[in-house]
Structure 1
Amino acid sequence: MRNFTITTYIVVVFLLVTGKLCGQMVIQHPLLGEGFSRWEKACASDAFNSYEVIFHFTQAELTASTQFVLELSDNTGDFSSPEILHTSAVGAITASPGKVSVAMPITVSGEGYKIRVRSIGPDATSSPSDAFPAYYKIHNETFTINKSQPTGVFCAGGSYLLTIDNPGEPGNNSPLQFSSLTFNWYKETGPDTKDFIATAPSLEVTTPGTYFVETNYGSCSLGVITSDSNRVTITEAVSVGSSSITSSLGNPYCASLGSTTLTTVSANTYQWYIDGVEISGATEQTYVTDQSGKYSVNITLNGCSTSASIDLDANLFTSSIDVEVSPAVNLIPASGALEVNITDTASSPTYEWYLNGNLITGANGSSFDITEIGSYKAVVSQTVGCESSKEFLFEVTETFPNVEKIPNLISPNGDGTNDTWVIPKTYVSGTNTEVILVSSQGEIVLQTKDYQNNWPQDDLSFKAVNPVYYYIIITEDNKTRKGSITVVK
């Protein structure tokens, strides 16, 4: 309960009785329910999502056209971009205190949310409510890690990577399908005790023990049903010694001099990878290559396994391009030209630009103005010292079409008509508008402030005839549009 001085109490009572403060309505900070409906945290789910908010105001300023808007801060209590929880109908609230039941958005995840109340006609804004934790338990069941295997082994000096299965064994509803979730890893210290290890989608284990992971719902993590994994016991095996990879030509090395030989420690078996992808047939102690990349090798010896890696650089210069590389798509702006720039550290560089596989005559600078749609390739080459090249592939298409209405029906059947959800230009990339799409099961399938009129990019899994999705569009000035989309084929 708040402590008020006598002077403050008299002022508050005077305002509530007279309804005057220089002719303005006064709204007290909202209360999170009262009595048995009092709540201190919002642990929302599909099963329950209703929270009463109570607010007192000076009734003398109330008019027949007054509306009240309840706004939710971000998880730090900041109202720079509030989310509207409820807008009362004109004249619906006729007396103080106002009582409104609100539902938490499915995106809430944090410990410091606040609610405030605004009135319209007359205009006034309350101070924020007390801070409260809020989480939407979009995933609330057990799931599997380590492919449901209860044990794992790592070599001394090595590690064992625990990951959440996605999708994993049949019947495993992986929480990784929900991009908004984070995860807390723990090590068991007793039958009912545990030590927090890290917040991450995976865990590299270097100490023996029994490990598991929980979906991070903060203050809402406790409950009868918890979103946690099976337990995995990790043990340490005999070491294969110091595991490392060396390059015969050094690192970085000049690819124009030929291939380099990667070598690891002597062991029983080997499997080489590049950028996490297994290299077919690469099962020897050495591997010969002339390509840059992150190389790794899995090694086993007497039942023990470990791994080593090296970031191999076959180019002695760096370069970047200021457009999105494939498979992303870039748009020609309304001004009629897309300026593309290459930045590099190459010695005596040369530049080549290609459109649909054909060299563009006269395009030999580090910048190029694009006015045609198509598939582009830019190549920058170092011509002094270690001669080498890097290339960038990117796609360019037309500006967003200027449609007038938000469609509620799409047919992604590949016929070139109505294949994607195309919305007005005022909501697409460059307008700082947030676009959220939610399935009928409550799964967020899209959440972006850079919508490219390209959903769905992949084939949708039809579990029902003509599935329905729901959209929420929040503009930069916090105006919200909501509706549904029916998908047909």
Structure 2
Amino acid sequence: MHKTTNLKSLTFLIGVFALLIPGQINAQLVIGSPNLGFSQACASASFNSYNVTFVFSPESALSASNQFLIEMSDATGSFASPTVVFTSNQGAVSTSPATLNFSLPEDTAGENYRIRIKSTAPAATSSGSVPFAAYYKVQDSPFTINNLVSTGAFCNGGSYLLTIDNPGTGDNDSPLNYPSLTFNWFRETSATTSVFVATGNSLTVTTPGTYFVQTNYGTCTSNSFSNRVTITEVFSGQANATIVSSLGNPYCPTQGSTTLATIGGNSYQWFKDGEAISNATSQTYQTDESGVFSVTVDLGGCQASGSITLVSEGFTSELNVPEENTLEEGETLTVVASTTAANPQFKWYLNDNLISGATTNTYVASDYGDYRLVISQTAGCLVSSELFFRMRQPIEQFPDVAKIPNIISPNGDGINDTWVIPLEFTSGTNTEIIILSNRGKVVFQTNDYQNNWPQDRIEFSSVNPVFYYIIRATDKDPIKGSITILK
């Protein structure tokens, strides 16, 4: 009887063991809930890498072709339409626990994302992770609103529209270039606090205050925020219309025209030095000039006005010699340039040829010809200016000419520029010289002629003008004739 009992017990154990072996061989894979290696995911182009760790059992249940997937829910935590953010290579993960790395899609934006782990062979799915905030900061730099104008105004009972600039001025990286983004508007309540006002690409302001907007990256910190704009309500009289220059003030002219912008209104009129500028009736005005620019803005029921003294960030320069100079044979002329340019560079030219070695603000000129000095500012605003002067051989004022000329060419070339007459009629002879226009009007008259007519430049187009002269010398009959002016 005892031997029979032992045999039955052995038979029972063998049966149980036989049942356990198939259970181990066909056991289903169990994947634990993933453990996040972060509290929130604030991704950008410069960082987008996040770790997750999970356990699974038994390891032996994995097929050699198995792949682990990381699925991410929508922003509410739902896995109804999950996004696969990572897929391992076949058989790459075979031991537990395992750590995988994934990146956020660029349209990620929300506070309640979750992830879960799936396997392919055998098929198994973990439960979801704890919720976490996740945003991909596709734009993460300051941007501008209101054309960077820091003020705005609306008439009593009206409103003022604030908008995100697109494209904006300068290097403004407008977040409107990224359609997936949303925005939160705020009004300051103190120097360090603010209250949420509304969402959207623009804001209609009906309450005075200082406003700004941020790209909605939730609890993630970000540099994607705008400048502040202070809005006032006008009850009577005129409000101030602030004007800003896109290139600053002073501005660098080598960067091209600067754009002047003012507060938003119904209509505009721009002025320069008090004079209305034709067709300048937009919120912005482009110019490359210096001067006092002003604007009047119709706000609908009231007006605003403002002005700005715009200054070009150029520099001033001058030479210590006049533009026209004469030099005797063998003499020299020391020319000195003074300038307000920052870290100036000097280049001297003679008849448009660079003078080798002439690189300071001083040059000793000894040759006849046309000189040019180019001064370049090499720090800050990179801009240049040119100065000119001319060296000529002295012209004899009273040469001994035999005849009275009837043609002159006053073109500044130093040859036949004035009406030069014989010495018997010039200074010291008490000869009266009269020159008349072709209509008989006296244009020049003297009893001490210096061979210096015409003293001013004579402007004409295609027809060469003709003048008439009368010379009345002592004890002689008057001499009459004509003078033709040539170019």
The structure whose Rg is larger is: 2
TM-score normalised to structure 1 length: 0.44
